[in-house]
Structure 1
């Protein structure tokens, strides 16, 4: 019975707190499927609440499909079937969309730029110039570090020549960068810190390394540093995975002060920071200053990862990684063991694309186009969804992260399934947590693929479903 104890807060109705607590117990297997829940009188006495509160909590659990009431017998736990199958369902839907039925859906799941903004003509021109210039050599294997010209261009154009080009490793996108970093520094049972919530692809990498994953709550200006300090005092941590700008999924951006504080903690507690510099090109608020963890790192504690795929051409699969000097050789070996080298032709074309000024023009175009979509989605969320959701504006990036109001008896999985029937696809928050039930009230809306009329129509449908 002790597991049912709960410390109430004043902000949320007690019946909702009780329902959410029991739901989490069911998900993490502390209450087994089919196990009888305490009787209404028994639980009301134990928690010091009236029986109506417990009745409302059990009704909520039954409505959400995680409990079943048997007349004359009591209420029993029941794990939601869609909870177990959500990842598979989400994956299947996404395959269908990518398989050619995109026009049938309003897609709020996109994490990369829309195909209408792909710089096809300019990139085709760059490819032709590379082929004319380099001929068959453009198709040969490069140094395992990557094409020397591209590494120098990255250093000069994005870092002002402050890095050592020999310490820049070209990778096939951010996901491979995270995988390479993890293989180089994380061993079985190492403690790895992640933001809560965080990118599911990173969680999968750390789980595959059989690391112990510790979560730190996200706030609007980065993680909760007090919580981070408590975890560091109790645990020997190997590394901390962070997304410094417009974090996926919350949209949070770290303040420069918080970055400096975390870097100091990394030195004090001897851990490394894996920085996934996600969508930092798309800043819509001039008050946000761009300074990565890596640019502020005086201790050589940051493994910096940047993908070009999200904001350029997803199909070219190019990014880069800058490790601390201590891990340079281990990261290079990890890359070679993964796939030897990234496409030589694409590296050369991207190098020329950057050097001829196309990159700068492309980013300017994206900022203008996506800022207008961002402002439209923000306006519609505020005016249409109003009291049905809670959120804060990220001021950049490609997503909004919303929490369903406690007044609405629906979780993000149910909303996902209902939206799907109306040809609207959202990303349920359960995908971004180590324990997915922590995200059952959250969902992410992206505006990178949907146009302005679709954004309004999709939000109107979500509003109707949340009534």
Structure 2
């Protein structure tokens, strides 16, 4: 451990500064779990402070869970699961911010479309049309699979009748879909593969099932198949979770070639692919072709999950699943055990909204708006941050995943510094099973930010990187 960058100031007591300095090394993994910290005597000589300062610093590290003292042996580093701590702090930030207060922030954390772009008049007219047509039945109708007319519309409009109606299950958003899959096929100590990094909500679900989570790296065109097959050869795998378009957080889209090879691996090694189709409506690069893995699935190995919440308003929790033939009954039972049914009124409204072709016209309008914001944020990063960072040109979606290439600044420290400047980002530690792996990354979304504020926000980020 190098103390040449340690600087004391009058704002904080010396023992606090020393404790925070050592804590950063522990958090970043530069001091490993169980590694012995420098002796009190050696630190007295190296950083020219008195013995009491070092004792107080080590005591503070112990109190905060970053060290453990062993009588006669010394003080040893202790790695904390600080991902959970950061996640709690991150969540608390938004709980404290009122709707009026959030307007004072440049909010780069958004991952859904902006409410200001939703065609509320069309939505009102569809609600009235449904209530006039169905009356009270719209509020009390229950079907464990979901409203049949909605399922039929999904099959016709989105899948050209290529899937069976009985394979489509309406769910209350993608998160519930992932949870239902996990409850159905994942038992404690089963092996589950996820991309590295991946959606934090999926990690939470698999952890709750006490699964063994194995991460596999992502390349610019999707999962590293060579690395994936090495894992498959050594382990019995239950499922592989992937986001096929504009993966959250990396922004990567899986190429058609990799989708084909992935399906061959699923058949060869007998595991399910859980395809979370995330924001595939928002494609800005015409070279990106929309072909879900499920459309290529002839071996019944893909469980397809699609959320309408990202486009249709986050507050209306609706999505659907298409399940392999052999899992239909089990997935439907898990759904019933979870919440019996999803809002009947909203299912009917969504069905009418899609059937009236409002869905397609709305997504086209959103694509035009967000393409401009996408071009604005990529230009701002390239012009202002330049070679201080790197990122994948996603060609769609609502966010970028940025890697800090220079300096000692990590994403958690950057998040805390920017918050004081009324700028919000998402630290990358939330997307890795081991949070330390995400310290040099942050996600930056542009759905809630206009172009002038995007540029200003990037300038503030540049101050700290």
Post-superposition shift, 1:440?
0.3
CA distance in 1, matches of 2:92, 2:283: 32
1:122-201 alignment, distance < 5 Å:
122-201=122-201
Unaligned runs of 5+ in 1: 1-18, 42-64, 69-73
1:368 aligned counterpart, secondary structure:
helix
Q: Which residue number corresponds to residue 206 of structure 1?
A: 206
User: Is the 8 Å Cα contact of residues 429 and 441 (structure 1) preserved in structure 2?
Assistant: yes
Deviations 1:222-281 (A, max 9, x none): 111110010000000000000000000000000000001010000000000010000000
2:255 corresponds to 1:255: yes
Find 2:33's aligned residue among 30, 33, 57. Answer: 30
Deviations 1:108-158 (A, max 9, x none): 000100011112111111000000000010001321000000000000000
1:1-400 alignment, distance < 5 Å:
25=29, 30-31=33-34, 35-36=36-37, 77=77, 85-97=85-97, 99-400=99-400
User: Is the 8 Å Cα contact of residues 275 and 303 (structure 1) preserved in structure 2?
Assistant: yes
Inter-CA distance 81–233: structure 2 relative to 1 (3 Å threshold): closer
Post-superposition shift, 1:195?
0.3
CA distance in 1, matches of 2:224, 2:144: 38
CA distance in 2, matches of 1:38, 1:152: 70
Q: Which residue number corresponds to residue 421 of structure 1?
A: 420
Post-superposition shift, 1:85?
2.8
CA distance in 2, matches of 1:84, 1:234: 30
User: Is the 8 Å Cα contact of residues 174 and 319 (structure 1) preserved in structure 2?
Assistant: yes
TM-score (norm 1): 0.85
User: Is the 8 Å Cα contact of residues 26 and 79 (structure 2) preserved in structure 1?
Assistant: no
CA distance in 1, matches of 2:337, 2:363: 33
1:315 aligned counterpart, secondary structure:
coil
CA distance in 2, matches of 1:88, 1:275: 28
CA distance in 1, matches of 2:189, 2:66: 35
Post-superposition shift, 1:100?
3.8
Inter-CA distance 76–461: structure 2 relative to 1 (3 Å threshold): farther
User: Is the 8 Å Cα contact of residues 191 and 235 (structure 2) preserved in structure 1?
Assistant: yes
Q: Which residue number corresponds to residue 49 of structure 1?
A: none
* Equivalenced residues, count: 417
Q: Which residue number corresponds to residue 445 of structure 1?
A: 444
CA distance in 1, matches of 2:364, 2:195: 30
1:449-464 alignment, distance < 5 Å:
449-464=448-463
1:314 aligned counterpart, secondary structure:
coil
1:215 aligned counterpart, secondary structure:
strand
CA distance in 1, matches of 2:204, 2:66: 29
Inter-CA distance 25–373: structure 2 relative to 1 (3 Å threshold): closer
2:401 aligned counterpart, secondary structure:
strand
Post-superposition shift, 1:37?
5.3
Q: Which residue number corresponds to residue 70 of structure 2?
A: none
Deviations 1:359-394 (A, max 9, x none): 110010010000000000000000000121111211
User: Is the 8 Å Cα contact of residues 34 and 78 (structure 2) preserved in structure 1?
Assistant: no
Post-superposition shift, 1:356?
0.7
Post-superposition shift, 1:26?
6.8
Post-superposition shift, 1:327?
0.4
Inter-CA distance 78–214: structure 2 relative to 1 (3 Å threshold): closer
User: Is the 8 Å Cα contact of residues 389 and 402 (structure 1) preserved in structure 2?
Assistant: yes
User: Is the 8 Å Cα contact of residues 216 and 228 (structure 1) preserved in structure 2?
Assistant: yes
Inter-CA distance 303–371: structure 2 relative to 1 (3 Å threshold): same
User: Is the 8 Å Cα contact of residues 82 and 413 (structure 1) preserved in structure 2?
Assistant: no
1:104 aligned counterpart, secondary structure:
coil
User: Is the 8 Å Cα contact of residues 195 and 216 (structure 1) preserved in structure 2?
Assistant: yes
User: Is the 8 Å Cα contact of residues 222 and 253 (structure 2) preserved in structure 1?
Assistant: yes
CA distance in 1, matches of 2:241, 2:84: 27
CA distance in 2, matches of 1:180, 1:242: 16
CA distance in 2, matches of 1:66, 1:454: 39
User: Is the 8 Å Cα contact of residues 66 and 77 (structure 1) preserved in structure 2?
Assistant: no
